[in-house]
Structures are given as C-alpha cells and as structure tokens.
Amino acid sequence: MPTINIVQAVNQALKEEMRRDDRIVVLGEDVGRDGGVFRATEGLYDEFGPERVMDTPLAESGIIGTAIGMAIYGLNPVPEIQFLDFIYPAFDQIVTNLAKLRYRSGGQYSCHLVVRAPYGGGIKGGHYHSQSSEAYFTHTAGLKVVIPSDPYDTKGLLLSSLRDPDPIIFLEPKRIYRAVKGEIPEGEFSVPIGKAKIAREGRDVSIFAYGAMLHVALEAAEAAKKNGVEAEVIDLRTLVPLDIDLVLASVQKTGRVIIVHEAPKTSGFGAEISAQIAERAIEYLKGPILRVTGYDTPFPYTLEEYYLPSVPRVLKAIDKIMQY
C-alpha cells in the first residue's frame, strides 16, 4: 500500500471523487493554478479546468455564498477557506443560510457542500493563522463537523463527506499536514461519519482527542505506560454527530476521563463531552473530568509551545486523575 501524508490524502480524495462525480466543483483563494497555499488542490486545475476549479477573490462571504447558490442548483461545491481564522466574514452565510436551508425549505433543498479549512496551531502562524474555532460550528444545528487525524481517515472521511447530503465543515489539522504519514489501501474505501475509533486500548483512563491532539494524547499514553498506567485513547474523528456510544463505553471501562483539544477551555468542545458524560455516566466516574486545552487568551506567537497542549501537560493530568 502507498504511504502518503494528509495533504496528499486530501488531494487524492478530491481528484478521485471529481472524476466520479462531475457535479463537484472546487473554489477558493489560490486553489487553481497555485494548488492552494498548502498545495492540497495541486493538479486539479490542470485536470479539470477553470470551470470546475475556480480561483476566487479574497472574499470569504462571497466564496460561501456562491457555493450555497451552486448547491441549491444541484452542484456539489467544495469551497476552501484558506485558514479557518478567515472564515468569520462567511459566518453569517454558514449559520444563517447554509445550516438552515433544509429546514426553511421544508426539505426541498438539502444544500449539500463541504467547507474545507486548515485549522489549529503548530506552524508559528500567529493569532490569525492558528485558531481552533470548531465549537462555533458544533453549536449550529444543521451542520456536521468532521476532523480527521491521519491520512487514512482524512481520505476516507472526505470521500464520505463529499457523498453526504448535509452541509459539512471539514477541518484539517495543518500542524500535521505533512508530519503524519500512513498507508492508504488501493481502490475505493470510505470512513463513516459519526464513528469514533479506539486509537489505543487501555483500562485505567480514557483520553478523548481529535486532529493533531490525537498524536499528543498517544505519545502521553505511551509515556504513562512506564508508570504502569494503561491509557485508552479515543479519536473522535467527528464532533457532530458525536459517537457518544463509544465515548460512554470507554468511560464505563476506565472510570477516568481526560479531554484534550487546542481550542480555549471555556465553551470548547470538551465542555460538551464533559456534560454528556456527566449526564449519562456519572456513576462510573472515579474522579473529576479533566480538560487539557488551549488557554482563554488570543493565540500567541512567541509562546505557541506553551499555549498548545503538550505531552507533559497531559501526563500531569493523568497523574492527577490516577491519584484522586
């Protein structure tokens, strides 16, 4: 099986699906001749031409508004927002129009499209190129939110997203765009939306993570093993819909919970996971639910390594919950 990185997985999924479905169009800033700022759309313009791969002005509201119009008229647009931090001018289009068109039209329009955006820190991009604002979209009924953590899931989840009838926010962890590689099977495959996976089996504590933080959690779990702690690591993969069944099954097995994400702690998605666990499985808990997250500050430039959750911070949480 070929070994590729996450950027290549995105590129493969788009190419293969565009060959299969001529309704798919890609649009965004520099996605055409340049192949995108991270080269995720490289080669698409040459193969599919300017009618299906469209460079747009620097106008996120226009990008998403145009994509919504395309979707209503039967196309399957894939708008790229160059960095998730730039999505806010299009926020009204997404939460007021895109997420609600099916409901407002009584089911006449499904308005299927996939909004792709790199998210998160780890590239020294400063506070306008490093934010993790996924919680804004998980709070919006009508949207699905998908965040892969490795090349296999990136390709499989993107293929599933491109075929899903609902609007999807597909967030790609740019910190590990090229740092994480994996084998991809030849031939068609997909990964179901709404299904988490056990990335590491364990019995003592459950660590829930997604995106780049999954790899921090896995490294911390391996380090904790030296102290006799077997941590189970769950890759959520999809925030909405959340695979609450697997979450609860892991909690019931270990009785201890740590949630890791790089977004700020207050109202981050970890709060939703915590609430659902408290509502449905509090009798299994042997200690408080702990969150290892970014801080409630703007994303810093020079102090990026202190802001982002790290292996030592996760290990500190593991020690705390094991001693409770």
Structural contact between residues 270 and 261, judged by C-beta atoms closer than 8 angstroms: yes
> How far apart, in whole angstroms, are the C-alpha atoms of residue 42 and residue 7?
10
215 is catalytic: no
Among 86, 88, 90, smallest CA distance to 98 is for 90
Given the residues 112, 127, 129, 139, select the one marked as catalytic: 129
Q: How far is CA 323 from the centre of its chain?
A: 32
Strands 24-28 and 76-80: parallel
User: 244-254 and 269-281 are packed helices; what angle lies between their axes, rounded to 10 degrees?
Assistant: 60
What size, in residues, is the chain?
Answer: 324
> How far apart, in whole angstroms, are the C-alpha atoms of residue 311 and residue 225?
13
With a CB cutoff of 8 Å and minimum separation 6, the contacts of 6 are 148, 150, 151, 154, 172, 173, 176, 177, 178, 180
- Catalytic residues, by residue number, are 129
